[in-house]
């Protein structure tokens, strides 16, 4: 079964957009998903949960075929 990883990215995007963030897929290999969280001009810095919390939320939305996928997040503060 082929996994459409863009569906996963769009799910994450919809979770973050309300707080002024977007997400970019930086890499995907079986077992690992790397996402870059991007702050928009109206981003709510206090609204972005810690990486481990967001990773757990994302993991809970993944299809069963991706259940063991490691999620690596890059936050805007990682570039500061």
30 is a domain residue = yes
Which residue, among 79, 18, 57, 47, has the nearest Cα to 71 in the 3D structure? 57
70 is a domain residue = yes
54 is a domain residue = yes
Strand pairing class (32-39; 21-29): antiparallel
80 is a domain residue = no
Q: Which structural domain range is residue 45 located in?
A: 5-74
The pTM of the full predicted model, rounded to 2 decimals, is 0.89
Q: What is the per-residue DSSP string for 3-16?
A: --HHHHHHHHHHHH
Tokens 């930086």 found at: 26
Q: What is the CATH number of the domain that holds 68?
A: 3.30.300.130
Strand pairing class (70-74; 32-39): parallel
Instruction: Estimate to the nearest angstrom the gap between the alpha carbon of 57 and the chain centroid.
Output: 9
Kindly report, residue by residue over 19-71, the tens digit of the pLDDT. 999 999 999 998 999 999 999 999 998 899 999 999 999 999 888 888 889 99
The strand pairing partners of 22, in sequence order, are 38
The count of structural domains within the chain is: 1
- More confident site: 58 or 80: 58
């Amino acid at each position: 079964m082929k996994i459409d990883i863009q569906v996963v990215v769009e799910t994450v995007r919809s979770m973050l957009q309300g707080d002024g963030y977007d997400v970019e897929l930086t890499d995907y290999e079986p077992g690992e998903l790397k996402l870059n969280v991007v702050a928009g001009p109206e981003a709510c810095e206090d609204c972005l949960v810690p990486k481990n919390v967001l990773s757990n939320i994302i993991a809970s939305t993944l299809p069963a075929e991706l259940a063991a996928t490691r999620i690596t997040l890059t936050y805007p503060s990682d570039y500061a």
